[in-house]
Chain A
Amino acid sequence: MAKYIGKRILMMIPVLLGVILVVFIMNHISPGNPAELLAGEGATDEAVAALEEELGLNDPLYVQFFNYVKGIVTGFDLGTSYQTKRPVIDELMDRFPTTAKLALLSIIISTVVGITLGIISAVKQNTIIDHISTGFALIGVSMPAFWAGMMLILLFSIYLKWLPVSGVDTWTGWILPAFTSSMVGMATITRMTRSSMLEVLCQDYIVTARAKGLSEKIIIVKHALKNALIPIITVVGIQLGTMLGGAVLTESVFSIPGLGKYMVDSIKNRDYPVVQGGVLLLAIVFSLVNLLVDIIYAYVDPRIKSQYSRGKKRAD
Chain B
Amino acid sequence: MHTEAMERLNKKKKNKSQDKAVGVWAEVAYRLSRNRAAVFGLVIILILVLFALFPQAFAGYGYDDQDYSRIFIAPCAEHPMGTDDLGRDIFSRVVYGTRISLSVGLISMLCSLLLGGLLGSLSAVNGGVSDNVIMRICDVFMSIPGTLLAISICAALGTGMTNLIIAITIALVPSFSRTVRAAILTVKDQEYIEAARAIGASKARLILRHMFPNALGPIIVRATLDVAGGITTAAALSFIGLGVAPPTPEWGCMLTQAKQYITSLDKWYIVVFPGVMIMITVFALNLFGDGLRDAFDPRSKN
Residues of chain A with a CB closer than 8 A to B272's CB: 151, 154
- For residue B186, CB closer than 8 A to chain A, the reply is no
- For residue A162, CB closer than 8 A to chain B, the reply is no
Q: Sorted from nearest, which 4 A-B pairs have the closest CB atoms?
A: A18-B140, A245-B147, A147-B275, A245-B145
16 extra interchain contacts, Cβ-Cβ under 8 A, other than A244-B148, A282-B148? A29-B157, A138-B287, A142-B228, A144-B232, A144-B278, A147-B274, A147-B279, A150-B255, A150-B275, A154-B272, A158-B265, A165-B262, A252-B240, A253-B259, A279-B151, A283-B144
Closest-CB distance, B156 to chain A (whole angstroms): 4
Which of B241, B275, B279 has a CB less than 8 Å from the CB of A267?
A: B241
Interface size class of B (residues with CB under 8 A): 35 or more
Q: Decide if B143 touches A15 in the complex (CB within 8 Å).
A: yes
Q: Is the interface of B mostly helix, strand, loop or mixed?
A: helix
Q: Decide if B140 touches A249 in the complex (CB within 8 Å).
A: no
Given A15-B140, A144-B232, A146-B239, A263-B145 contact (CB < 8 Å):
no
Q: Decide if B145 touches A165 in the complex (CB within 8 Å).
A: no
- For residue B198, CB closer than 8 A to chain A, the reply is no
CA distance A310 to B262 in the complex (A): 61
Q: Decide if B155 touches A286 in the complex (CB within 8 Å).
A: no
CA distance A29 to B141 in the complex (A): 18
A-B contacts, 21 listed (Cβ < 8 Å)? A15-B139, A18-B139, A22-B140, A26-B153, A138-B283, A138-B287, A138-B290, A143-B279, A144-B235, A146-B236, A147-B278, A151-B271, A158-B264, A246-B147, A248-B151, A272-B156, A275-B151, A279-B148, A282-B144, A283-B145, A283-B148
Q: Is the interface of A mostly helix, strand, loop or mixed?
A: helix
Residues of chain B with a CB closer than 8 A to A30's CB: 155-156
Residues of chain B with a CB closer than 8 A to A128's CB: none
Closest-CB distance, A54 to chain B (whole angstroms): 23
Closest-by-CB residue of A relative to B154 is: A267
Closest-CB distance, B296 to chain A (whole angstroms): 15
Q: Decide if A276 touches B263 in the complex (CB within 8 Å).
A: no
Q: Decide if B283 touches A139 in the complex (CB within 8 Å).
A: yes
Q: Which parts of A128-168 form the interface with B (CB within 8 Å)?
A: 138-139, 141-144, 146-148, 150-151, 153-154, 158-159, 165
Given A31-B158, A242-B145, A144-B275 contact (CB < 8 Å):
yes
Residues of chain B with a CB closer than 8 A to A67's CB: none
Closest-by-CB residue of B relative to A272 is: B155
Residues of B within 8 A of A (CB): 136-137, 139-141, 143-149, 151-153, 155-158, 228, 232, 235-236, 239-242, 252, 255, 259, 262-265, 268, 271-272, 274-275, 278-279, 282-283, 286-287, 290, 300, 302
Closest-CB distance, B100 to chain A (whole angstroms): 15
- For residue A202, CB closer than 8 A to chain B, the reply is yes
- For residue A175, CB closer than 8 A to chain B, the reply is no
Given A18-B140, A158-B262, A248-B240 contact (CB < 8 Å):
yes
- For residue A195, CB closer than 8 A to chain B, the reply is yes
Closest-by-CB residue of B relative to A249 is: B236
Residues of chain B with a CB closer than 8 A to A286's CB: 143-145
Residues of A within 8 A of B (CB): 14-16, 18-19, 21-23, 25-27, 29-31, 138-139, 141-144, 146-148, 150-151, 153-154, 158-159, 165, 195, 198, 202, 241-242, 244-246, 248-249, 252-253, 263-264, 267-268, 272, 275-276, 279, 282-283, 286-287, 290
The tally of CB-CB contacts under 8 A between chains A and B is 147
CA distance A244 to B143 in the complex (A): 12
CA distance A290 to B139 in the complex (A): 12
Q: Decide if A267 touches B240 in the complex (CB within 8 Å).
A: yes
Q: Decide if B147 touches A248 in the complex (CB within 8 Å).
A: yes
Q: Decide if A141 touches B286 in the complex (CB within 8 Å).
A: yes
CA distance A148 to B275 in the complex (A): 8
CA distance A195 to B300 in the complex (A): 8
Closest-CB distance, A241 to chain B (whole angstroms): 4
CA distance A29 to B268 in the complex (A): 40
CA distance A88 to B236 in the complex (A): 24
CA distance A113 to B103 in the complex (A): 35
Residues of chain B with a CB closer than 8 A to A165's CB: 262-263
Residues of chain B with a CB closer than 8 A to A264's CB: 240-241
CA distance A174 to B213 in the complex (A): 49
Closest-by-CB residue of B relative to A26 is: B156
Residues of chain A with a CB closer than 8 A to B268's CB: 154
CA distance A243 to B140 in the complex (A): 19
Q: Decide if A287 touches B143 in the complex (CB within 8 Å).
A: yes
Closest-CB distance, A44 to chain B (whole angstroms): 28
